[in-house]
Structure formats: C-alpha cells, structure tokens
C-alpha cells in the first residue's frame, strides 16, 4: 500500500464569483429534438484517457455523452473516438489530439486531467478549433508550475467541464459512516483511495472524509468513525498511481478490510473492479460484510454483476455535459468558459443503489441524506476542499 502526499494536484475549482460568471456556456438538458432545432454538420471527436472507453467510469461516461449527442441528430452529427487506451504520456495525448485536428473535427473532447497540457497547447496552436475537456477548467495548466506566456489566462476556444463532486461524496461519507456504526459500533472504520493525486480525484476524497466527520459530530457515536486512506486536512493518503491497476487496488482494498473498514470508496476508474473483486472474496469468508461506493457512474448500471455490493454511487454528470457541449457546437453556439456541475444543477448526483447493500441503509439514514442534500443545494452546508 502506497501512502503518500504526491505533487501535481490539479486545480479545477473556481472561486464563487468566477463560477457565477462562467456558468453561461452550457445548457444541460435543454437540447430540443432534431426536428425542432437546426444542427450544422458536426464531427465530434473524443480522446479517452488511460482505461479506455470501456472503463465503466468517466471515459465510458464521456463516450456515452458523445453517442447520445449523435442520436439526437444522426444525419448531422458524426463521431470519431480514440478507443485504444492511452499510455498516459504527454506525447501520446498530443499525437492523438493532433490527429483529430488534421481531420478537421468540429469539437475535440479530451477526457481527464492528464490531458490538460496537451489540450491547452493544442488550443493555443489552433485558435479556430474548439475543445471541451472533462475534469479540467478553462485555465492555463502552467508550465513547470510557473505562469509564463503562453501559459497564462484562459482560452476562448476551450470549454472546461468540472464537477463539485465533494458535494455528493459528502453524502457517501455520511452514509458509509452510518453503515459502519450500525454493523461494527465497537470499531467503525471506512476507507478510500485514489488513482493519482489530482484535484478531480481528491475532491471526491475530501467530500467523503468530511461526510464522515459530519456524521461523527452530529450523531456522536460512542466510537467515532475513522477514515483510512485519506486525511482532508493534511491532503495525504493512499494512491496507487494508476487508473488501470486492478491488482494493486485489490491488494490495497484487502489491507483496508483487514484493518476493519466496512465501506471502500475507490476513486480510481476501472481500478474499482479490483476493489469489487477483493470485497467479494472477503465477504465469502467473513461474517461482517463490507460494501463499495462506486465513483463517477451508477455502479448498478455500469457493473450490474456487482450491484449487490454497492452501498451507493457517487457520480458526476459527464455524460450530460459532454452531450450538451456537442449539441451546442452543432447549433453554432459553442462558447468557451467553464461549466461547473453541482448537486443543484444535476452535474453531481448521489445515487442510492438498489442491491443488497443499498437496501441495508436504514430509513433514518436515507432521510438524513435527503436533508443534507437540501442543505448542500441551498448553501447552508458548505464542504471545503484542499485542506482549507
């Protein structure tokens, strides 16, 4: 198990004032039918991150958004994708993006924080081309940590798609804590780990951690619920340095289970399949059953064979935002800026899964989660990120 506080934590959050100014470029769920809307000939192209299109996580979500946009107007909108899992190197991303530039794609969608440099560089080199990037805000990634030209400011031809996933992860943390106390009150523990230490990963982990602390403060269990794998205050925790290493994720998960964790929250894309495999094996041999909180997508939809393991799913609106970005491009309404997904606007969503573990939650816990959701949406509950 690698327990570290790695460098290069990406900054995807915007200040509250900036968010108010930049939430104008994307209308989620507002697209009309093809017969009611005039769409131009559009070629929408997507570069997937490591894990590929079938990662059952954010790559798959982005690709689904691409397909749903095509389905709205199949005669006008076409798609191209890079379905071969990237090796995660800057040169590979740049090659893949350049290939789509040469194909005269109307909009190029890049998926994942790792592509921030390549996307920015391509946008700067091709100012007439349009880009949308998942898990990246519209701001320069900087060069070697230094903001020097051309690594400053924002780009008019980039639409950043970011999500305040600390909000729904907070609900997941609260629910995991409630389960831990209900089933192991003498030593309640939960755990989370990340693929790599990017803000798009740690925001989930921050929210989960804070949800557990909120439970401890509000419900005052005799033994406070402990969080393994992450400390929001110090920003240190467990990362396996990959989004495609199911072997290491299974090993780390088994270690967490051995320490008494009853819920595992993997923020690591397809690595989560290593977690579900480890929990399945563990539950066959132990009376105290553990569960998993799935990330990015609805676990019961994307991994139905493991539905009974999922306590809930902590998701982000990648599909809807990618679909909307493509449709607005097709309508001739593309605008650079930032879309920020929240619980309130549907860009982040907490899903109460319907399998065995999902049904294990008490009615009181589910009711409290509903109350907390309203508090987050109306701003009375604020969730810090980044150790603030």
Residue 29 has pLDDT above 70, yes or no: no
Q: What is the pLDDT of residues 215-267, one digit of tens each?
A: 999 999 999 999 999 999 999 999 999 888 999 999 999 999 999 999 999 99
- The total number of residues written for the chain in this structure: 388
Q: What angle do CA 112, 233, 365 make, to 5 degrees?
A: 80
Residue 23 has pLDDT above 50, yes or no: no
In Å, what is the CA distance from 249 to each residue of 46, 97, 114, 253, 269? Answer: 27, 30, 20, 6, 11
Say what the alpha-carbon torsion angle 72, 73, 79, 85 is, to the nearest 10 degrees. Answer: 10
The CATH number of whichever domain residue 353 belongs to comes to 3.40.50.2300
Note the pTM of the prediction, 2 decimals. Answer: 0.85
Query: Is 2 contained in some domain?
Result: no
Query: Is 131 contained in some domain?
Result: yes
Q: Are residues 170 and 224 in the same domain?
A: yes
Say what the alpha-carbon torsion angle 61, 63, 67, 68 is, to the nearest 10 degrees. Answer: 30
Q: Are residues 33 and 138 in the same domain?
A: yes
Query: Is 62 contained in some domain?
Result: yes
Which residues span the domain enclosing 75? 8-163+319-341
Q: What is the pLDDT of residues 65-85, one digit of tens each?
A: 999 999 999 999 998 876 555
Q: Are residues 23 and 152 in the same domain?
A: yes
Contact 158, 119 (CB under 8 A): yes
pLDDT computed for residue 142 by the predictor = 72
Q: How many domains does the chain have?
A: 2
Q: Which two tokens stand for residue 288?
A: 């105290």
Query: Is 81 contained in some domain?
Result: yes
CB atoms within 10 A of CB 93: 25
Q: Are residues 187 and 232 in the same domain?
A: yes
Q: What angle do CA 301, 342, 350 make, to 5 degrees?
A: 35
Q: Are residues 220 and 362 in the same domain?
A: yes
Contact 170, 345 (CB under 8 A): no
- pLDDT-above-70 percentage for the chain: 86
Query: Is 385 contained in some domain?
Result: no
Considering only CA atoms, which of 218, 221, 231 is closest in space to residue 183? 221
Contact 299, 319 (CB under 8 A): no
């Amino acid at each position: 198990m690698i327990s570290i506080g790695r460098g290069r934590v990406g900054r995807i959050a915007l200040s509250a004032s900036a968010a108010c100014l930049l939430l104008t470029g994307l209308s989620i769920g507002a697209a009309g039918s093809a017969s009611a809307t005039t769409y131009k000939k559009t070629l929408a192209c997507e570069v997937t991150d490591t894990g590929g299109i079938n990662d059952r996580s954010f790559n798959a979500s982005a690709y689904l958004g691409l397909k749903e946009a095509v389905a709205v107007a199949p005669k006008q909108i076409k798609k191209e994708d890079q379905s071969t899992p990237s090796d995660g190197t800057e040169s590979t991303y740049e090659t893949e993006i350049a290939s789509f530039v040469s194909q005269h794609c109307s909009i190029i969608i890049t998926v994942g924080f790792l592509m921030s440099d390549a996307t920015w560089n391509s946008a700067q080199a091709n100012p007439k081309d349009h880009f949308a990037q998942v898990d990246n805000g519209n701001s320069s990634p900087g060069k070697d940590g230094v903001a020097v030209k051309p690594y400053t400011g924002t780009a008019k031809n980039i639409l950043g798609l970011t999500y305040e996933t600390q909000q729904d992860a907070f609900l997941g943390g609260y629910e995991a804590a409630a389960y831990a106390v209900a089933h192991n009150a003498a030593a309640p523990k939960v755990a989370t780990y990340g693929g790599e230490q990017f803000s798009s990963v740690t925001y989930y982990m921050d929210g989960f951690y804070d949800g557990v602390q909120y439970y401890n403060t509000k419900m005052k269990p005799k033994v406070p619920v402990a969080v393994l794998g992450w400390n929001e205050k110090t920003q240190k925790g467990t990362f396996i340095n990959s989004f495609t290493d199911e072997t290491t994720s299974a090993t780390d998960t088994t270690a967490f289970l051995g320490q008494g964790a009853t819920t595992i929250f993997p923020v690591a894309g397809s690595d989560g399949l290593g977690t579900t495999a480890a929990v399945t094996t563990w539950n066959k041999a132990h009376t105290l059953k553990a569960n998993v909180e799935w990330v990015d997508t609805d676990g019961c939809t994307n991994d139905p064979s493991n539905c009974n393991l999922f306590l809930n799913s902590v998701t982000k609106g990648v599909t809807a935002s990618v679909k909307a970005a493509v449709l607005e491009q097709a309508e001739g309404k593309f605008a650079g800026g930032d879309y920020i997904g929240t619980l309130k606007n549907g860009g982040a969503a907490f899903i109460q899964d319907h399998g065995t573990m999902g049904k294990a939650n008490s009615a009181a816990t589910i009711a409290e989660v509903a109350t907390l959701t309203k508090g987050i949406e109306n701003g009375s509950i604020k969730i810090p990120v980044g150790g603030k």
